[in-house]
Amino acid sequence: MLPAFRSTSSAVSFCVLLIVLLGLPVVANWVGHPSREQAYAGMSTAAGPVGMHVREIFRDPSDTDVLFLGSSLVRAGVNLPMIEGAMSAHLGRPAHIEMFALNWQGLDLQYFLLRDYLSSHHVGLIVWNLPVPGSRSIEPHIEAFRWVRFGEYSDARYGLSLPYRLALYSDMVLGAPREMLSHLRPNLLSKSELDFQVRSEEMGYYGTSFVPEAVDSAAIPALEQSYEVPPYHLVHAAGKPLDQYETHFAEKILELGKEKHTKIAFLHIPIDSEQGLDYMPERSRWVDTLHTDAPMIGSASEVLFKGVNKERFHNFYRDQHFNINGSTLYTQSIIPAILKAYDTRGTYE
């Protein structure tokens, strides 16, 4: 068998190259990081409407009444114009509603987005959809190498076990060359990316034909079916609980809300597999694991789809996500609970 290196000098050269590569995050920190806007602008379009979030965080100075936080389930499920219209009428002034909802579950990404936003904005209420029972994030977000950088927000990693800290450092190593290149060739976003507006989609279930549903006249669930406080009688723990990495950043999000005097409410969005359930499956009854008395907004699938027969159920979904039928039905069902959570946000931690 041939040796791994032809000579001692080859082995030494390889080790030097390896040390240089592993030290790139430190070098990037010494040189100076590009702006945080550049950290997100370099994310791929597969992650979702990155430009919209760059605009919200760095280019729109307006404070926000309600901020929705989560993954693509939130983007597909919450109709922002409906919420904004209802909130404006409720407050007697134009309301400002925003959303952070990129693709793939990732509490680390949600934390970093929220931290950047709250550094220059005030939010009245954060409505947060935590990962669904079927998801499991046992490692950093798939695009963490684009926005986690050495020497920046280091306190966010305090308390993580060594394997997770090494995983994040590996992301820094992977992202450092692109980060340094962006000093010379900045990541650019087009006007269409920056101006992107979330819209519900007219799509059928897993590629089938879209069937419109008349949902404007659907019955709104009673408030006690869409808003509850601990111990969350309508919530059942399902799936695996949050792992150490997920729990760490979930707690960081709650700490950030307290630090910025911003109240947080949880949001349950029924997915397609919940058909017929008379309870809301969550990874935990959050009062037990996150030690918070934040209210839960949402309703069980059976309640939301009362009067919808089994044959029509999938007309409200495009896959796990709502289509425009489901988004309209769901959004109008949670508006009373959103208004109550906003009005009573001073009564819970």
SS3 237: strand
Neighbours of 173 (CB within 10 A): 16
Strands 263-267 and 296-297: parallel
339 pLDDT exceeds 60? yes
Distances (CA, A) of 349 to 116, 285, 287, 341: 22, 16, 11, 12
User: What are the boundaries of each domain within the chain?
Assistant: 46-141+191-347
Give yes or no for a contact between 67 and 117, defined as CB atoms under 8 angstroms apart.
yes
Fold observed for domain 46-141+191-347: Rossmann fold (3.40.50)
Question: 228 in the Ramachandran plot: left (φ > 0), alpha (ψ -120 to 50) or beta?
Answer: beta
Whether residue 201 is predicted with pLDDT greater than 90 in this model: the reply is no
- pLDDT tens-place string over residues 212-222: 999 887 889 99
Q: Could you tell me the end-to-end alpha-carbon distance of the chain, in angstroms, rounded to an integer?
A: 65
Query: How does strand 235-237 pair with strand 123-128?
Result: unpaired
In this predicted structure, what is the pLDDT of residue 327? 97
- Is the pLDDT at 2 greater than 70? The verdict is no
Q: What is the pLDDT of residues 301-337, one digit of tens each?
A: 999 999 899 999 999 999 999 999 999 999 999 999 9
In the structure encoding, which two tokens stand for residue 69, read together?
């936080």
- pLDDT exceeds cutoff 70 at 68: yes
Task: Report the C-alpha gap between 147 and 349 in whole angstroms.
Answer: 29
Residue pair 293/254 in contact by the 8 Å Cβ criterion = no
Q: What angle do CA 140, 143, 149 make, to 5 degrees?
A: 75
CB 133 within 8 A of CB 281: yes
Coil, helix or strand at residue 214: coil
Residue 323 token pair = 């289509």
Residue 16 pLDDT > 90: no
Cβ-contact 300, 333 below 8 angstroms: no
Q: Which two tokens stand for residue 242?
A: 């949050």
Q: In which element (H, E) is residue 244 found?
A: helix 244-259
Residue partners of 157: CB distance under 8 A and separation at least 6: 164, 165, 168
pLDDT on residue 349: 55
CA distance 255 to 114: 12
φ/ψ (deg, to 5) at 263 = -80, 150
Angle between helices 80-91 and 324-343 (to 10 degrees): 30
pLDDT tens column, 266-281: 999 999 999 999 999 9
Q: pTM for this structure?
A: 0.94
pLDDT of residue 348: 54
